[in-house]
Chains A and B, each alone.
Chain A
Amino acid sequence: EADIYQTPRYLVIGTGKKITLECSQTMGHDKMYWYQQDPGMELHLIHYSYGVNSTEKGDLSSESTVSRIRTEHFPLTLESARPSHTSQYLCASIPPGHRVGYNEQFFGPGTRLTVL
């Protein structure tokens, strides 16, 4: 069982603020992911990382940026939040040495962001 933590769990901020959503995992997972999920909708991949100093954009265009300086941390930053950024943000990771064909992703509890 993987332990993935996300903070804050809930965030309400005003337009134009800079925010960072934290994601950390304690199991030494190399691959990490950020998803965006609107209520009742499917998850959309916005960023992923193969490991330290590796970051890539996902399928859904996002104005956010990520960094991966340490294996256990994968923070997501919005330089200037807007109401269109209101959503739930989910972080996930996969352990190394995966079994081919399985690659189970473990999800964090999510951060629900509201931008006023």
Chain B
Amino acid sequence: KNQVEQSPQSLIILEGKNCTLQCNYTVSPFSNLRWYKQDTGRGPVSLTIMTFSENTKSNGRYTATLDADTKQSSLHITASQLSDSASYICVVSATNTGFQKLVFGTGTRLLVSP
């Protein structure tokens, strides 16, 4: 069964600190992995997209890693800001052409505290 599991479920950190969110998946055939940021009551916004040949991708203070062998990904947030408070969703695409089947994780809810 295609699944995406994220940990931790929720996290509270102090402003300025770093944190790392984890994603494990059992999706096949693997096409790509994305990390989205979703503010409360809003739609998800893409942070990074990686195919199986890419093992790291950065977007400002966000750095995602991918290990296609162990089927694990992480999202590292550097020097956190209050605006980073949101849910971070790991999404794995299970096809490479035509209609893409996306498998969503339940997200990690991050709260950055002043």
Contacts and interface: CB of A to CB of B under 8 A. Distances in A.
Interface of A: 4, 6, 31, 40-45, 48, 50, 59, 88, 90-92, 94, 100-110, 112
Contacts of A100: 96-97
Given A103-B93, A105-B46, A107-B36, 20 more contacts: A4-B43, A6-B43, A31-B99, A40-B107, A40-B109, A42-B4, A42-B105, A43-B44, A43-B102, A43-B104, A90-B43, A101-B31, A101-B96, A102-B49, A103-B100, A104-B34, A105-B102, A106-B46, A107-B43, A110-B41
Interface string B87-114: 0010001001101111011110100000
Given A40-B106, A43-B104, A50-B99, A104 B49 contact: yes
Contacts, number: 60
A108 B102 contact: no
Contact of A42 (B49, B100, B101, B107): B107
Given A42-B107, A101-B32, A104-B34, A110 B102 contact: no
